[in-house]
Amino acid sequence: MSRYAASDVEAKWQSAWEAADIFRARRDETRPKYYVLEMFPYPSGRIHMGHVRNYTMGDVVARYKIATGHNVLHPMGWDAFGMPAENAAMASGGHPKDWTYANIADMRAQMKPLGLSIDWSREFATCDPEYYGQQQALFLDFLEHGLVYRKNAVVNWDPVDMTVLANEQVIDGKGWRSGADVERRELTQWFFRISDYAEDLLEALDTLDNWPAKVRLMQENWIGKSRGLQFAFGLIDGPEGHDRVEVYTTRPDTLMGASFVGISPDHPLAKTLERERDDVAAFCAEARKGGTTAEAIEKAEKLGFDTGLRVRHPFDTAWELPVYIANFILMEYGTGAIFGCPGHDQRDHDFARKYDLPIVDTFLPIEGDHDIGGAPYVPLKSEAVRYTRLVAGEEIQTGEAGVNAAIDFCEANGVGQGVTKFRLRDWGLSRQRYWGCPIPVVHCDTCGVVPERKENLPIRLPDDVSFDAPGNPLDRHPTWRDCACPRCGAPARRETDTMDTFVDSSWYYARFTAPHAATPTDMAEAEYWMNVDQYIGGIEHAILHLLYSRFFARAMQVCGHLPGKAIEPFDALFTQGMVTHEIYLTRDAAGRPVYHLPEEVSEGRLADGTEVEIIPSAKMSKSKKNVVDPSTIIAQYGADTARWFVLSDSPPERDVEWTASGAEAAHRHLARVWRIAAEIAASDAPATPDDDALLREMHKCIDEVTKGIDSFGFNAAIARLYAFTNTLAKSQAGKGAKTSAARTLAQLMSPMTPHLAEDIWAMLGGEGLVTTAPWPVADAEMLIDDTVILPIQINGKRRGEITVPADMPKSEVEKLALAHNAVVKALEGAQPKKIIVVPGRIVNVVV
Q: Is 844 in the site for RNA (CB under 7 A)?
A: yes
Smallest distance from RNA to CB 543, Å: 5
Smallest distance from RNA to CB 375, Å: 11
User: CB neighbours of 89 closer than 8 A, spacing ≥ 6?
Assistant: 95, 96, 99, 467
CB closer to RNA, 592 vs 834: 834
Say if CB 597 and CB 632 are below 8 A apart. Answer: no
CB closer to RNA, 227 vs 545: 545
Question: Sign of the C-alpha dihedral, residues 764, 769, 773, 776?
Answer: positive
Q: Is 816 in the site for RNA (CB under 7 A)?
A: no
* Pairing status of strand 787-794 against strand 842-846: parallel
Residue 223: its H or E element: helix 213-223
CB closer to RNA, 117 vs 505: 505
Q: Single out the residue of 145, 151, 214, 453 in contact with RNA (rule: CB under 7 A).
A: 214
Q: Single out the residue of 394, 527, 655, 690 in contact with RNA (rule: CB under 7 A).
A: 655
CB closer to RNA, 395 vs 540: 540
CB closer to RNA, 319 vs 722: 722
Q: Single out the residue of 465, 514, 671, 698 in contact with RNA (rule: CB under 7 A).
A: 671
Q: Is 301 in the site for RNA (CB under 7 A)?
A: no
Collapsing DSSP to helix, strand or coil, 249 comes out as strand
Tell me the site size for RNA, rule CB under 7 A: 100
Q: Single out the residue of 45, 129, 173, 428 in contact with RNA (rule: CB under 7 A).
A: 428
CB closer to RNA, 678 vs 718: 718
How long a stretch of residues is the chain?
847
Q: Is 303 in the site for RNA (CB under 7 A)?
A: no
Smallest distance from RNA to CB 205, Å: 13
DSSP symbols for 523-564: HHHHHHHPSBSEEEEEGGGTTHHHHHHHHHHHHHHHTTSS-G
Q: Could you tell me how many helices (H) and strands (E) the chain has, helices first?
A: 26, 33
CA–CA gap between residue 425 and residue 205 (Å, rounded)? 18
Amino acid at residue number 634: I
Q: Single out the residue of 8, 144, 168, 482 in contact with RNA (rule: CB under 7 A).
A: 168
Helix axes 660-682, 754-763, angle to 10 degrees: 10
Smallest distance from RNA to CB 476, Å: 18
Q: Is 749 in the site for RNA (CB under 7 A)?
A: no
User: CB neighbours of 30 closer than 8 A, spacing ≥ 6?
Assistant: none
Say if CB 435 and CB 86 are below 8 A apart. Answer: yes
Question: Sign of the C-alpha dihedral, residues 680, 684, 687, 690?
Answer: negative
Say if CB 10 and CB 115 are below 8 A apart. Answer: yes
CA–CA gap between residue 50 and residue 63 (Å, rounded)? 20
Preceding omega of 751 cis (within 30 degrees of 0): no
Smallest distance from RNA to CB 443, Å: 17
CA–CA gap between residue 709 and residue 55 (Å, rounded)? 15
Amino acid at residue number 551: F
CB closer to RNA, 31 vs 668: 668
φ and ψ at residue 288, rounded to 5 degrees: -85, 0
Stretch that binds RNA, among 18-26, 264-272, 660-668, 678-686 (CB under 7 A): 660-668
CB closer to RNA, 43 vs 486: 43
- Site mask, RNA, residues 518-557, x = CB under 7 A? ---------------------xxxxxxx------------
CB closer to RNA, 244 vs 619: 619
Say if CB 609 and CB 726 are below 8 A apart. Answer: no
Closest among 457, 450, 436 to 492, alpha carbons compared = 450
Stretch that binds RNA, among 438-446, 486-494, 554-562, 711-719 (CB under 7 A): 711-719
Say if CB 245 and CB 304 are below 8 A apart. Answer: no
CB closer to RNA, 427 vs 528: 427
Q: Is 482 in the site for RNA (CB under 7 A)?
A: no
Collapsing DSSP to helix, strand or coil, 248 comes out as strand
φ and ψ at residue 654, rounded to 5 degrees: -100, 165
Give strand pairing partners of 444.
Answer: 448
Q: Single out the residue of 121, 167, 413, 420 in contact with RNA (rule: CB under 7 A).
A: 167
Give strand pairing partners of 175.
Answer: 170
Smallest distance from RNA to CB 422, Å: 9
CB closer to RNA, 485 vs 817: 817
Amino acid at residue number 429: L
Angle value at C-alpha 828, between 826 and 833, nearest 5 degrees: 70
Angle value at C-alpha 173, between 88 and 595, nearest 5 degrees: 55
* Pairing status of strand 656-657 against strand 579-587: parallel
Smallest distance from RNA to CB 388, Å: 20
CA–CA gap between residue 634 and residue 7 (Å, rounded)? 8
Say if CB 253 and CB 406 are below 8 A apart. Answer: yes
> Given phi > 0 = left and psi -120 to 50 = alpha, else beta, which region is 658?
beta
Amino acid at residue number 165: L
Q: Single out the residue of 659, 690, 735, 782 in contact with RNA (rule: CB under 7 A).
A: 659
Q: Is 668 in the site for RNA (CB under 7 A)?
A: yes
Q: Is 832 in the site for RNA (CB under 7 A)?
A: no
Stretch that binds RNA, among 162-170, 265-273, 398-406, 635-643 (CB under 7 A): 162-170
Distance of CA 737 to the CA centre of its chain: 46
User: Contacts with RNA in 59-118 (CB under 7 A)?
Assistant: 79, 81-84
User: Contacts with RNA in 605-634 (CB under 7 A)?
Assistant: 617, 619
φ and ψ at residue 574, rounded to 5 degrees: -130, 130
- Site mask, RNA, residues 136-155, x = CB under 7 A? -------------------x
Q: Is 424 in the site for RNA (CB under 7 A)?
A: yes
CA–CA gap between residue 742 and residue 765 (Å, rounded)? 11
Amino acid at residue number 814: E
Stretch that binds RNA, among 246-254, 262-270, 714-722, 760-768 (CB under 7 A): 714-722
φ and ψ at residue 78, rounded to 5 degrees: -135, 125
Q: Single out the residue of 427, 508, 529, 552 in contact with RNA (rule: CB under 7 A).
A: 427
User: Contacts with RNA in 672-691 (CB under 7 A)?
Assistant: 672
Stretch that binds RNA, among 16-24, 138-146, 246-254, 798-806 (CB under 7 A): 798-806
Q: How many CA atoms lie within 13 A of 372 on its CB side?
A: 24
User: Contacts with RNA in 436-475 (CB under 7 A)?
Assistant: none
- Site mask, RNA, residues 352-381, x = CB under 7 A? ----------------------------xx
Stretch that binds RNA, among 165-173, 264-272, 408-416, 556-564 (CB under 7 A): 165-173
Q: Single out the residue of 210, 293, 417, 683 in contact with RNA (rule: CB under 7 A).
A: 293
User: Contacts with RNA in 223-242 (CB under 7 A)?
Assistant: 224
Q: Single out the residue of 281, 559, 723, 802 in contact with RNA (rule: CB under 7 A).
A: 723
Q: Single out the residue of 145, 795, 810, 819 in contact with RNA (rule: CB under 7 A).
A: 795
CB closer to RNA, 559 vs 615: 615
CB closer to RNA, 346 vs 446: 346
Q: Is 292 in the site for RNA (CB under 7 A)?
A: yes
Smallest distance from RNA to CB 376, Å: 10
Stretch that binds RNA, among 282-290, 461-469, 682-690, 796-804 (CB under 7 A): 796-804
Q: Is 295 in the site for RNA (CB under 7 A)?
A: yes
Q: Is 649 in the site for RNA (CB under 7 A)?
A: yes
Smallest distance from RNA to CB 844, Å: 4
Q: Is 824 in the site for RNA (CB under 7 A)?
A: no
